């Protein structure tokens, strides 16, 4: 049991200290209480925390964020995809470590973290701020799990809101024009704009991944470019998927695959490796867009990823429901699909209301509804 003892400090004032044993059996003490009741309250708190398993040794809280951060970052590399890990590493190096590496974890206050978030928000975009907050929060989460902290002061901080991003959609006519201007990448543009593959999924495709008879593509690899290096891994969802192809896309892919072996890439780079995403300027895609805009000044500026939005738009226009679009795009849930493409489903409200109105009138004519 904890005991309370009286002592005199260097100035001669009467103070109190609490002696107690930690769960590992070692004895320790806490000094500096000016009132006996404060010391007794602390002693009671210590005993309760030991009984409930919530005890945290005060010495462990002296560890700094800089001592814990690098080890935490190394652990993430074992299970994160390279692109995600790189964003965490950059956030740690550029923003988290400069502010927190010398601070003992027990001295971090919730209000201090919120002030830091406000400072970052004035200088960086919401995505970077969210990543930085996540890095600090998860480092301290591990400290809580290791019983170095009783609670995480970075939990519950308010983050800046992301401004809604306006998706760019091409019509079928515009997609066909862009594919024509893309030259030898015509089949790639059509594939991205009708099936909605992620760039890395398309870049990793080999001839053997296409079932030309059944008009299917089997996706099980993802070639992600991080900096100047390309990493080949699993799909973003971690699950393989199969997508159906329109016949005109299958025909275009057949032309691309002509003369290639089954294990060859459909669209290799100039060096024979995986094709990197086209740059926003001075690339084959930006050139194709510019030529389309020369003919049609209203033609929107699109990126390779925006073609994924076009695929969702064309599928919904063709009558696909949200679950079909989710499976086609490889989203983790239908809720995510609705969040990204809620504007495309707005017209469903009108069509549902019109069908209900027609059904109501028909029922009234048949005598099933009393007006």
CATH number of the domain to which 221 belongs: 1.10.443.10
Number of domains in the chain: 3
299: left (phi over 0), alpha (psi -120 to 50) or beta: beta
Strand order in the sheet with 3-8: 3-8, 14-21, 27-33
Is residue 309 domain-shared with residue 264, that is, in the same domain?
yes
Is residue 235 domain-shared with residue 315, that is, in the same domain?
yes
| Distance of alpha carbon 107 from alpha carbon 42, whole angstroms | 18
- Helix 306-317 vs helix 322-329: crossing angle, to nearest 10: 150
- Helix 172-181 vs helix 306-317: crossing angle, to nearest 10: 140
Is residue 70 domain-shared with residue 126, that is, in the same domain?
yes
Burial of 278 (0-12, 13-18, 19+ CB in 10 A): buried
Is residue 326 domain-shared with residue 235, that is, in the same domain?
yes
Query: Is residue 356 assigned to a domain?
Result: no
pLDDT tens for the chain, 371 residues long, are 788 999 999 888 999 999 988 877 788 888 889 999 999 998 888 888 778 777 777 777 889 999 999 999 999 988 888 888 999 999 999 999 999 999 999 999 999 999 999 999 999 999 999 999 999 999 999 999 888 888 899 999 999 988 777 888 899 999 999 999 999 999 999 999 999 999 999 999 999 999 999 999 999 999 888 777 788 888 888 889 999 999 999 999 999 999 999 999 999 998 889 999 998 888 999 999 999 999 999 999 999 988 999 998 888 888 888 888 888 888 888 888 877 877 776 655 455 555 566 666 766 666 655 44
Is residue 189 domain-shared with residue 271, that is, in the same domain?
yes
Query: Is residue 355 assigned to a domain?
Result: no
| Distance of alpha carbon 146 from alpha carbon 61, whole angstroms | 11
Is residue 259 domain-shared with residue 119, that is, in the same domain?
no
In a 13 Å sphere around the CA of 204, the CA atoms on its Cβ side amount to: 21
The single residue listed with the structure tokens 């935490």 is 72
Is residue 190 domain-shared with residue 309, that is, in the same domain?
yes
Domain containing residue 133? 62-145
Query: Is residue 205 assigned to a domain?
Result: yes
| Distance of alpha carbon 111 from alpha carbon 219, whole angstroms | 46
Torsion of CA 276, 280, 282, 283, to 10 degrees: 40
Is residue 182 domain-shared with residue 303, that is, in the same domain?
yes
Is residue 179 domain-shared with residue 304, that is, in the same domain?
yes
Is residue 184 domain-shared with residue 328, that is, in the same domain?
yes
């Amino acid at each position: 049991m904890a005991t309370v003892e009286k002592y005199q400090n260097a100035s001669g004032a009467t103070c109190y200290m609490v002696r107690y044993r930690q769960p590992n059996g070692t004895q320790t003490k806490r000094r500096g209480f000016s009132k006996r009741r404060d010391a007794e309250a602390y002693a009671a708190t210590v005993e309760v925390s030991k009984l409930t398993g919530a005890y945290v040794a005060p010495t462990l809280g002296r560890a700094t964020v800089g001592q814990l951060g690098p080890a935490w970052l190394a652990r993430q590399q074992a299970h994160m995809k390279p692109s995600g890990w790189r964003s965490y590493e950059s956030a740690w190096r550029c923003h988290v470590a400069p502010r927190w590496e010398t601070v003992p974890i027990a001295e971090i206050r919730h209000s201090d973290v919120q002030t830091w978030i406000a400072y970052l928000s004035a200088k960086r975009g919401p995505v970077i701020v969210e990543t930085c907050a996540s890095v600090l929060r998860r480092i301290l989460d591990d400290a809580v799990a290791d019983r170095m902290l009783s609670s995480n002061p970075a939990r519950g901080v308010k983050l800046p809101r992301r401004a809604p991003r306006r998706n760019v959609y091409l019509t079928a006519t515009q997609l066909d024009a862009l594919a024509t201007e893309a030259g030898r990448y015509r089949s790639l543009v059509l594939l991205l704009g009708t099936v909605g593959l992620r760039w890395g999924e398309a870049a990793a495709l080999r001839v053997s991944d296409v079932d030309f008879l059944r008009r299917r593509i089997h996706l099980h690899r993802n070639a992600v470019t991080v900096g100047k290096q390309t990493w080949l891994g699993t799909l973003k969802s971690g699950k393989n998927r199969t997508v159906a192809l329109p016949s005109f896309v299958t025909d275009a892919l057949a032309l691309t695959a002509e003369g290639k072996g089954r294990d060859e890439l459909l669209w290799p780079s100039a060096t024979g490796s995986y094709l990197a995403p086209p740059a926003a300027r001075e690339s084959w895609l930006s050139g194709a867009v510019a030529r389309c805009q020369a003919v049609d000044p209203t033609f929107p500026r699109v990126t390779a990823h925006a073609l994924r939005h076009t695929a969702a738009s064309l599928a919904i226009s063709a009558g696909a429901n949200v679950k079909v679009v989710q499976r086609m795009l490889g989203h983790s849930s239908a809720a995510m699909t609705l969040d990204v493409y809620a504007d495309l489903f707005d017209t469903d409200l009108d069509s549902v209301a019109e069908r209900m109105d027609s059904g109501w009138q028909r029922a009234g004519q048949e005598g099933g509804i009393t007006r």
